[in-house]
Structure 1
């Protein structure tokens, strides 16, 4: 037993406070009266006024086990009694033992690579500990704009991504794994093409016509629209998302769409550590479309054109007088036993991908270093497509003395994408789409028996209005190379003027060089001499671009504490950023020797050339004040002034203030000693941010030299000259977003359960829209700040530690975000704004953005089934005439409409289907989206399971208009197997019309609009850490083996290949599916070794 002695003045201190101060309040119920008596027996003097109080303190034997965050035992962990020399270390099984340790003593656990921990000794003497990597300990400090802050002191809505969970996904860029990880952050892709970027929108779209992408701040450098594929995910130390105005206003004119802050890994004090992260895997298409069999295909052609079908496919059924008659030819029944060509199986492949990162990190107290290199190579699941990245990063941090520090961070990356752009954007000729060509190509030949697989084009069927080229041969002959080179050096200087004032300066450069090469030989649709739509023949295009953006940011930060209660931090700064870019390209056609590919461009005839250059500049001043009283009441105020060359004089500067306050209720007396509630904080913020994502010269008018807009006098050639092609507007200004955020952070049971709730409402003013102009101006429209848009939503994030008993742990993370988008105002006298789409060569309005509704609502006709025989009057000659009480397509169409044709609702009841019967038929944005992650660890095993979902959004499946209906009745175009249930006189379907029965061209309806909701088993990862006693025999400190699967299962009612698709992605045109590059299913095997 050990004596415990303290002196106290009975008048100056309450006994309860004394007991709580020394953590012996458990004595109070039993010994209260005795202790009070002892205190009162000894009188005090005016000078000393104290007495001695003796309490016996118990000692125990402390035992336990130390494991890592995956449950594996840790050897060599140091355990020391704080303030004493008594210590020990764990054995190979992670066990330790300490004798004679006083109850309530503090044990300090420390281990290389892990964050140190302190734990109090209890009466039981048993203490099992899970060590956390030092990187994970950094989660207690959150990176914000121009600084860091403790989590407890946050006043804004800030989400810090769990990088450990994020890296469980086997992907090439971090944004691919971000979907569903953070509440209120919507991540989508146009398609699954290797190297394709992701579309990230934070808390709904703020603009209708300008970019809604967030600002990225990578190692302190603000970058708009970076190529995230250039950043190796393995190099990311922390990823923080700023969502409300309090957090983003410090970035002013670029903060309206939210901010993503990325800090890359740096060297740490300690001996050199070599790490290898290597993986190898394969990808395959997750779903293919079931197509018609040969018999089903030929039977359909017999319906479309019986005479042509017999001439090609059933020559035995022809009249003997027909020149194509063949008594030994095929009949329709013969096709039942023929095996058709599976073109999808030939187009898709099981592709390989590999990812390797090697790093060296370490340092002394004055110098820390980090060097890493990586190789990422991803073959596409479509033949002749792929992407690769070669990347290297160097960081050096040096302290010259206690005041002056310097840091260097240099990243270099080369990215290459090869293969076709499967989604051809707004191309009207749908034969240019790879998947269209694959689905459409017929599965079997007819009377001419030749190998379709080896034939470059379909010699048996070709006409002037159609082009049928072998989809596999064209895919193999595609030559599209996009090479990007990224060089990003960053130098930062820090100087402590005194212990309260610090100066920091950051110099950064972002240099990007791009080379694009495209070559169309005679085996491709664009270069084929058979292409009557494009008469360029063999041709090629080469493009080059270079952009450089440099910035310098300087900040002064002042910190001080007054009266041990008032904490003040004031930061002020000044930044300058300039950028320049050049673009040039040329193309030649009619190239005589296609074997030379790009080297043969000089043999062709020049048909296009272009060159452009641009510059921009931005200057800013900003400041932030953080104040708190005992971390109980917190206040944050920010202010930023931005000036941009993109706007005309008088509108170049704008100002963005914000205010935030928080009440940390856990610091109040009524919650301070609560064992149930670990954290309780109320947050409120309001502020303004801007969006400067317009072109460098949008405020200016433009001139053109096109001859089509000049005049000819006296039947002579038009004279040379220029004309104003676009009217300028020197009154253009920033789109400004004002946002209110109310949040509540609550955690229980020593933070085993953490809940974050946020409600926000943000309104964007001065939307940049094309406003109508008077006819007298000579222009139809001009760009103006005139509209308004609102987003409001609710976010929930729940993190729980369900089980953690030292051997087995289970933790979960759940998030969900609701967002409601509404247009408040468009241009003058404008109620709706329509967006047209091109489907099958026809352009029609498919979307509407209407005041009072969300942006990008689907717009069209309402499908009302199929016209049946009973809907017609039948003449004596068998002619059908639609009954007068049923709506016709247009005036005079009653006799042309036939049984089996599509029927639309006559909304206005005038008996005629026209644009007056179009209405809102669906929504493009989800009602809510989120994710649910579960992590299990047992001994050395670690299992990560992540689910992602989206609910309430629709997808327009434009593929079905051609392949699940053949609305224009094209001959020899294969169909989905689902079209076998189409309307026939024997099968009077009310859902699928007969060939050519799709209605007038351009009539788009909700027949092909489908529920895009889905639940996806996004990531499953299983790893095992080999016990240290075995790995160290191979001189490896830590060795983990891993298997991961991405996009394992998708649960959805959507009939297409993938519900998470938007091949025409924009705020105005969401959820459009037309021949996308499919999302792959990925399986990888890897290892992580630390030397």
Structure 2
């Protein structure tokens, strides 16, 4: 029937139309009726079957033409902006298919004969209507700052302080999208309603969290690499001035240590163990897109930080190439938002005090010790009435018992004090249409718990975002900070113990006449000439020294974005970092360093340091989604960065007018003048491809090429590739049958990164122009030049190959989330100062010869334990296990020993060792076995003791000099003589595992955060005990524990006798367990209800009480187990008079309007 109708139609059409035959015989009306009839019959008879997904109209017309034989006539410009068509129909008419395909396309069609003509219709004017509403949370409280956007449109606003919004939108078919950090995104079709009130639910999953990674952003659910982030709302609850102080223990695998606990102390961050043993292991920082290797993190206000992301594996860090081996920390600061101006203030004030002081000998025990050590000289000084002095005894003079229970000066109380701390931040942000801005400023003032120490910061920040057009936008971000540090480090050794503050305090005599001795410069009782190191008054010394370091730091970063299309974007950025640092120090005659007995006399020094860092980056980003299931993100670009540093210093001694201090240096005697300058360049090309199929299979490939001026020709360039794959198993049908598992993804990656943290031009041989190398030639004084070392033009990058395998799990609608990773890193071509053959003329030179491995497991768990309208409880936990191992050193070398100098007697000692096949840094020394007891000696006829012939010595040159109660070591090689060959590994400063856990509680308007940090299995070398518990000098005080020393009446095996410390040596006696559990942060707050604040035009208001470092549980005997005063990759965990960490309690107030 169909063929018959078609044939009849075609015949008649040929007769009446196509053959141009005269139509006179047939009236025109009849012709028209026949034409329409047969056309209608033909169209209805065409049965069309179509199954397409998001295809262009042109493609759909081709399919219809093949099935129907109809021609389609159209102008390309009419359909080029038409929406793709998705259609699935079976045996429908052509007219029905065309109606569905062109619905809402602003296109019309007409059919004449076998031709379909498609034309653009006149676009009617869409009348926008004002849509209003309020956005609230599950408790009914308004939420300010919620983004309200028109889906598939450009209109965008944010809610005001009352949660209200007004937006213009086409009322008929528009959809509004409501989004806010921490809440589930909500889409609301208008459907004719002009009032849209929305309640947002708190997000129960972090899978939709958008993380800032290298040169872009990515949803957490789409990650292929190992990336972690920290909740800034938790981090900002800690009353600290640097985000690094709060970061430790919050992210698995990130270890944060500091050499000192004082205000403004710099932190050392290591991610997944140290890769290098001679160069820096610090991560690269990306601050608002600006890569900085050694940033002034104290110059950033915590309140300005929006997010912190840590990139750990090579898939994430390889895009930074030669600077990515140590991990990358990406910091994004707060930007302006569209909406009315919002003013936010946050400020707190608090107090700090020490958790622990060292217990010292009181006057009775001190005098008793000095009598044992010094003998009659001490008796004549302290107990002149002692009958044992015989004829020289003074009748009625003091005896030892006089000092029992006498009041005395606790010198720690004199230098430690309760110190105030305050921090205030004020910001203004807002925007309209295409313009957004944010302006902030902060003031911080932290006094140290040691008098004379402290930290100040004056900081300001300006952010400006301007949309020039739909395609072009501009961004400017400027941060300025002036920081000031006061006081010298107590662990700094200055040639004598009097110049090391805590040693001077611990070693000073516990005087019993406080009124006179507090103002007495020298302890005349024991040192009338000022020659004994512990005789200088430490209180007067610290009060009269002036030590200040000021830094003016500015970071400016600007970029433009140009969108060639919705898929292709160009970004061009330029940045500058400049730091001008001035270090001043002056020591007058009432300080240990400037006393008349010191050869320098009153002296001072000035050092100026200027750093410049210039950056240009150019990136092209292409994003595309096609055929619904496929998405690709391609980033490519090139960068150029220049770094320069200039340093000038001057030291002047014998300053005549000390009252003028640093301002009178021009009248003193120049002692040391220094000047240096250096710089380097880095040029790079990079690219990355991310591909995802159905958000189920994700692939990432990255490549970077870096060229650095630090290396010689032939080694300037290096290449760093990486690849990663992830499979979200939970999206598979077989996993969807397990409702308890809401997310499951496995991922793996491999890549190569580098470490360029070497000095500038290390391949060149330095030449020194020293004064003492001058000579006379031709009756003229000539400057001599001496090679300072041997360069090596073959030096190249340290490279790290990293393998990572991880799994991400979510249970019970992601109320419980688990992330676990296993990694293995191998760093090769380590830069070592390797031994050279003797004929070279230099003992050592740097070579690429070493290899180190780090491997470990990381686990992060977060849970929302209770979620209700009035009460919620959430928890987080992380733990990391890292093991490092030396795989190779220089040829023929199986170990590398490292010295640490903390006093004049320790310079030649080597307490650290790196052994092939063992951890990078281990403690190295003698194995302590207690004290020599009477049974180790033969009693001579004269009553003296002689060490038995089968008992080994303790290193003392003469066997006859060893006495009962002296310290004793194990003879490891059986030769009965204690030599360097008897030294062994005596401890490991690397922890078995580290981590932290926190709990957040919310009850109505109250919130409570409790955070603990822990470290287990790490040892600490307590060098303080070498001096103050058994090896102290005459007239020096000691720790109270030394009162339990060995005596004939108390033959213990724990502490040696007075003068029985033997040779200066490191031993297992001073290696202690540094494991700890720290109650790091507790914050309790109350947020005032909105209804209380609305009348005052206040948006939010919160009061809080927060505390830092409340308590520490540890077996460590020192001030704090989290210590590393000589921190390098080869010397961690060393405690020498470290500035103790303070307990801080603050009260604060935050509001916005």
Question: What TM bracket, shorter-length normalisation?
Answer: 0.7 to 0.9
Counterpart in the other structure of 2:1058: 995
Q: C-alpha displacement at 1:337, in angstroms?
A: 3.0
Does the 8 Å CA contact 1:108/1:117 hold for their aligned counterparts?
no
Pick aligned residue for 1:1042 from 1093, 1097, 1104:
1104
Q: C-alpha displacement at 1:430, in angstroms?
A: 3.4
The whole-number CA distance in structure 1 between the counterparts of 2:389 and 2:416 is 43
Counterpart in the other structure of 2:1113: 1051
Higher relative contact order (CA 8 A, sep 6+): 1
Counterpart in the other structure of 2:1049: 986
Counterpart in the other structure of 1:509: 576
Counterpart in the other structure of 2:717: 653
Pick aligned residue for 2:849 from 776, 781, 786:
786
C-alpha offsets along residues 951-1009 of structure 1, whole Å, 9 cap, x if unaligned?
111001111111122x15x22211111111110110111110011111112x2101011
Q: C-alpha displacement at 1:377, in angstroms?
A: 0.6
Counterpart in the other structure of 2:795: 732
Counterpart in the other structure of 1:19: none
The alignment partner of 1:721 has SS state of coil
The correspondence of residues 799-838 of structure 1 with structure 2, limited to 5 A, is 799-838=862-901
Counterpart in the other structure of 1:441: 508
Does the 8 Å CA contact 1:128/1:806 hold for their aligned counterparts?
no
Counterpart in the other structure of 2:334: 265
Counterpart in the other structure of 2:192: none
2:929 matches 1:864: yes
The alignment partner of 1:229 has SS state of helix
Does the 8 Å CA contact 1:417/1:482 hold for their aligned counterparts?
yes
Q: C-alpha displacement at 1:421, in angstroms?
A: 1.9
- Change over 3 Å in CA distance of 1:404–1:768 after alignment to 2: same
Counterpart in the other structure of 2:817: 754
Does the 8 Å CA contact 2:207/2:219 hold for their aligned counterparts?
no
C-alpha offsets along residues 51-97 of structure 1, whole Å, 9 cap, x if unaligned?
xxxxxxxxxxxxxx99769x7944899999x99xxxxxx9x999xxx
Q: C-alpha displacement at 1:1034, in angstroms?
A: 2.9
The alignment partner of 1:838 has SS state of coil
The whole-number CA distance in structure 2 between the counterparts of 1:179 and 1:152 is 25
2:746 matches 1:682: yes
Counterpart in the other structure of 1:298: 367
Does the 8 Å CA contact 2:775/2:784 hold for their aligned counterparts?
no
Range moving further from structure 2, 613-622 or 466-475: 466-475
Does the 8 Å CA contact 2:379/2:389 hold for their aligned counterparts?
no
2:286 matches 1:217: yes
- Structure 1 unmatched runs, 5+: 1-8, 14-43, 51-64, 84-89, 95-105, 122-126
- Structure 2 unmatched runs, 5+: 1-46, 52-89, 97-133, 152-158, 164-173, 190-196
Counterpart in the other structure of 1:945: 1010
Q: C-alpha displacement at 1:598, in angstroms?
A: 0.8
The whole-number CA distance in structure 2 between the counterparts of 1:113 and 1:159 is 17
2:649 matches 1:580: no
2:1101 matches 1:1033: no
The whole-number CA distance in structure 2 between the counterparts of 1:129 and 1:832 is 65
Does the 8 Å CA contact 2:264/2:455 hold for their aligned counterparts?
yes
Q: C-alpha displacement at 1:797, in angstroms?
A: 0.2
C-alpha offsets along residues 110-162 of structure 1, whole Å, 9 cap, x if unaligned?
699985643999xxxxx99775599x999711101000011111001000111
C-alpha offsets along residues 925-960 of structure 1, whole Å, 9 cap, x if unaligned?
101000001000000000000000001110011111
The whole-number CA distance in structure 1 between the counterparts of 2:147 and 2:819 is 35
Pick aligned residue for 1:401 from 448, 465, 469:
469
Q: C-alpha displacement at 1:329, in angstroms?
A: 2.7
Does the 8 Å CA contact 1:467/1:530 hold for their aligned counterparts?
no
- Change over 3 Å in CA distance of 1:517–1:76 after alignment to 2: closer
Q: C-alpha displacement at 1:839, in angstroms?
A: 4.6
Pick aligned residue for 1:775 from 813, 835, 838:
838
The alignment partner of 1:502 has SS state of strand
The correspondence of residues 174-185 of structure 1 with structure 2, limited to 5 A, is 174-185=243-254
C-alpha offsets along residues 143-194 of structure 1, whole Å, 9 cap, x if unaligned?
0100001111100100011111111110001000000000000001101121
Counterpart in the other structure of 2:996: 931
Pick aligned residue for 2:1134 from 1069, 1072, 1078:
1072
Aligned residues: 1006
Q: C-alpha displacement at 1:227, in angstroms?
A: 1.4
Q: C-alpha displacement at 1:721, in angstroms?
A: 2.2
The whole-number CA distance in structure 2 between the counterparts of 1:107 and 1:807 is 32
The whole-number CA distance in structure 2 between the counterparts of 1:260 and 1:279 is 27
Does the 8 Å CA contact 1:627/1:636 hold for their aligned counterparts?
yes
Does the 8 Å CA contact 2:407/2:512 hold for their aligned counterparts?
no
Q: C-alpha displacement at 1:429, in angstroms?
A: 3.3
Does the 8 Å CA contact 1:79/1:108 hold for their aligned counterparts?
no
Does the 8 Å CA contact 2:225/2:749 hold for their aligned counterparts?
yes
The correspondence of residues 688-699 of structure 1 with structure 2, limited to 5 A, is 688-699=752-763
2:1083 matches 1:1021: yes
The whole-number CA distance in structure 2 between the counterparts of 1:423 and 1:731 is 39
Counterpart in the other structure of 1:795: 858
Does the 8 Å CA contact 1:586/1:606 hold for their aligned counterparts?
yes
Greater Rg by CA: 2
C-alpha offsets along residues 1042-1074 of structure 1, whole Å, 9 cap, x if unaligned?
110100010000011100000000110111101
The whole-number CA distance in structure 2 between the counterparts of 1:342 and 1:1083 is 25
TM-score, length basis structure 2: 0.83
Counterpart in the other structure of 2:395: 327
- Change over 3 Å in CA distance of 1:932–1:318 after alignment to 2: same
The alignment partner of 1:451 has SS state of helix
Q: C-alpha displacement at 1:760, in angstroms?
A: 0.3
Counterpart in the other structure of 1:283: 352
Does the 8 Å CA contact 1:208/1:767 hold for their aligned counterparts?
yes
Counterpart in the other structure of 2:685: 621
The whole-number CA distance in structure 1 between the counterparts of 2:525 and 2:1081 is 47
Pick aligned residue for 1:855 from 920, 925, 936:
920
The alignment partner of 1:980 has SS state of helix
Counterpart in the other structure of 2:557: 490
2:714 matches 1:631: no
The whole-number CA distance in structure 2 between the counterparts of 1:634 and 1:77 is 33
2:445 matches 1:377: yes
C-alpha offsets along residues 9-45 of structure 1, whole Å, 9 cap, x if unaligned?
9x999xxxxxxxxxxxxxxxxxxxxxxxxxxxxxx98
Q: C-alpha displacement at 1:720, in angstroms?
A: 3.8
Pick aligned residue for 1:351 from 403, 408, 419:
419
- Change over 3 Å in CA distance of 1:138–1:233 after alignment to 2: farther
What is the RMSD computed on CA atoms of the aligned residues? 3.2
Pick aligned residue for 2:635 from 545, 562, 571:
571
2:615 matches 1:551: yes
Q: C-alpha displacement at 1:431, in angstroms?
A: 3.2
Does the 8 Å CA contact 2:342/2:429 hold for their aligned counterparts?
yes
TM-score, length basis structure 1: 0.88
2:183 matches 1:118: no
Pick aligned residue for 1:915 from 967, 973, 980:
980
The whole-number CA distance in structure 1 between the counterparts of 2:775 and 2:928 is 48
The whole-number CA distance in structure 2 between the counterparts of 1:572 and 1:108 is 34
Q: C-alpha displacement at 1:444, in angstroms?
A: 2.1
2:585 matches 1:523: no
- Change over 3 Å in CA distance of 1:754–1:1011 after alignment to 2: same
C-alpha offsets along residues 458-487 of structure 1, whole Å, 9 cap, x if unaligned?
111126453521111111112111010011
2:808 matches 1:745: yes
Q: C-alpha displacement at 1:1031, in angstroms?
A: 2.4
- Change over 3 Å in CA distance of 1:618–1:77 after alignment to 2: closer
